[in-house]
Amino acid sequence: MLNRREFVLGSTLTLLPAHRRPPNIIVILTDDQGYADTGFQGSKDIRSPNIDHIAKEGVHFTNGFVSHPFCSPTRAGLMTGRYQQRFGHENNPIYDPKDETVGLPFSEITLPQLLKSAGYATGLVGKWHLGATPRHHPLQRGFSETFCFIGGRHDYFKSETEATGREQMLPIERNGHAVPLTEYLTDVWNREADAFIRRHRNDPFFLYLAYNAPHNPVQASDKYLDRFGNIEDKKRRMYAAMLSAVDDGVGMVLAALKELKLEQDTLIFFLNDNGGPVPFNGSRNDPLRAGKGSLYEGGIRVPFAACWPGHLPAGKTFSQPVISLDILPTALAAAGVQPSPRLKLDGVNLLSHLAGQVKAPPHERLFWRTGGGVTWAVREGRYKLVKVGDAPELYDIDADIGETKDLLTVHPDLVKKLLTAYQQWNSEMIQPLFPMEGAAPKAAPAERK
């Protein structure tokens, strides 16, 4: 069983009284948001007071990373706490409601499965993108309630009530049953998140609030556009409005927790799933290099914050590298769930690091890989060896966050060490189990080896 309670929070943190329920866990994920595009990341033109509140009242991770530079693999890592290359989930799945080889492999145990086993109500609101077959449905992967769409992107104003194969128009579903879309989609997610919290006010709950905003199509309603008359660039203005709708939803979540007196009983994470796809959706990743799809910092370094009033320090900046894979073990530790060693997690429980009890970095090294090794990167301390072209490049990320000065020839011994570390890690990974969305069709079954 995986539900043995082991509260080991130290003296600087408040121990949960025995009669208190385990904390709620909320993971708020945005989609294709730029690194620079929240107030707490320094944005001057996009106001996000509610998202900023999470960083202000909790911990701001200034070296916060995701495990992949695009949508679905990041979500696979987030849901499992494991490098998704370990189990072949390295590409975005082609939408196919019949192909069970495409999506989160059934070998994997998910965060909602683990929390559900420990008595949590588990809810998904928003985007799934981890497989489209009935067996891949989030209701089969640990969620007790879902209000979502199954694909990787969605129109914000229109939806079909029967799946016709057009991914962007897939039904909006409540617990697997299509419902009509009659409002701006982000407003719907916001209302459903608020309702889930209120419905489970007396339960420990896990809410995965996976916004598809501000992923394309770039669409916003007048209510939010009217807030950004000061932004002249039309696409940037639309994008800002999309994020402002998300910020309103985060505000609704925070207000519901406050009203229900659940603030100190709720651990919240906020992050984005990959860097902004500059310049396509109006996002900005300054001062980072490149964006979505790249293993330069612009693809993998994201706005990242967590708060748990009374348990995590408030107003803290945490500058050691952390990764989205850490959310699962941290959430389990907060919930008092001891993960089985059989899970072979790559993520780290951050609680003792955030409390200041452990000074060592959570990770000795972090790794990334796309396309089965077409591009890759390894980060150790301040240095990052990244291979996106013909040859690796070495950057001092602490001194050169924009990756402008290649130090490959300056530190040959370090390059050799990092290359060896990557090769060792890479030897533990497998090749992608399914091809990239948009790639050439797979060979017919008879031609497969």
Residue among 114 and 242 whose Cβ is closer to Ca ion = 242
Is residue 31 at the binding interface for Ca ion, with CB under 5 A as the rule? yes
CB of 72 to Ca ion, least distance (A): 8
Q: Point out which span in 1-9, 16-24, 245-253, 266-274 binds Ca ion (CB under 5 A).
A: 266-274
Residue among 248 and 273 whose Cβ is closer to Ca ion = 273
Residue among 50 and 274 whose Cβ is closer to Ca ion = 274
Is residue 114 at the binding interface for Ca ion, with CB under 5 A as the rule? no
Whether residue 148 lies in the annotated active site: no
Residue among 29 and 328 whose Cβ is closer to Ca ion = 29
Nearest partner of 34 among 287, 276, 245, 292, judged by Cα: 276
Give the C-alpha separation, 385 to 438, whole Å: 29
164 CB contacts (<8 Å, ≥6 apart)? none
Is residue 32 at the binding interface for Ca ion, with CB under 5 A as the rule? yes
Residue among 129 and 236 whose Cβ is closer to Ca ion = 129
Is residue 274 at the binding interface for Ca ion, with CB under 5 A as the rule? yes
Q: Which residue is nearest to Ca ion, using beta carbons? A: 71
Residue among 206 and 211 whose Cβ is closer to Ca ion = 211
Is residue 273 at the binding interface for Ca ion, with CB under 5 A as the rule? yes
How many Cα atoms are found within 13 Å in the side-chain-facing hemisphere of 419?
Answer: 12
Are the C-beta atoms of residues 181 and 240 closer than 8 Å to each other?
no
Three-state SS for 189-247 is HHHHHHHHHHHCCCCCEEEEEECCCCCCCCCCCHHHHHHHCCCCCHHHHHHHHHHHHHH
CB of 434 to Ca ion, least distance (A): 18
User: Segment 195-254, which members bind Ca ion (CB under 5 A)?
Assistant: none
Is residue 437 at the binding interface for Ca ion, with CB under 5 A as the rule? no
Give the C-alpha separation, 189 to 210, whole Å: 9
Catalytic residue, candidates 53, 68, 89, 129: 129
Are the C-beta atoms of residues 332 and 349 closer than 8 Å to each other?
yes
Give the C-alpha separation, 88 to 369, whole Å: 11
What is the DSSP track for 1-29?
A: ----------TTSPPPPTTSPPPEEEEEE
Give the C-alpha separation, 246 to 233, whole Å: 20
Tokens at 314, concatenated: 């408030």
Nearest partner of 173 among 165, 184, 162, judged by Cα: 162
Tokens at 263, concatenated: 């603030």
Q: Phi and psi for 287 in degrees, rounded to 5?
A: -100, 25
The answer to whether the Cα torsion of 120, 126, 130, 134 is positive or negative is positive
Give the C-alpha separation, 433 to 141, whole Å: 19
Are the C-beta atoms of residues 275 and 288 closer than 8 Å to each other?
yes
User: Segment 71-90, which members bind Ca ion (CB under 5 A)?
Assistant: 71
Q: Point out which span in 78-86, 144-152, 252-260, 267-275 binds Ca ion (CB under 5 A).
A: 267-275
CB of 237 to Ca ion, least distance (A): 21
Whether residue 71 lies in the annotated active site: yes
Residue among 32 and 173 whose Cβ is closer to Ca ion = 32
Size of the site for Ca ion (CB under 5 A): 5
Other C-beta atoms lying within 10 Å of the C-beta of residue 447: 7
What sections of 303-435 are H helices per DSSP?
327-335, 351-354, 412-427
Q: Point out which span in 10-18, 186-194, 273-281, 412-420 binds Ca ion (CB under 5 A).
A: 273-281
Catalytic residue, candidates 68, 71, 89, 353: 71
Nearest partner of 365 among 353, 383, 350, 352, judged by Cα: 383
Residue among 70 and 425 whose Cβ is closer to Ca ion = 70
- Site residues, Ca ion (CB under 5 A): 31-32, 71, 273-274
- Enzyme catalytic residues: 71, 129
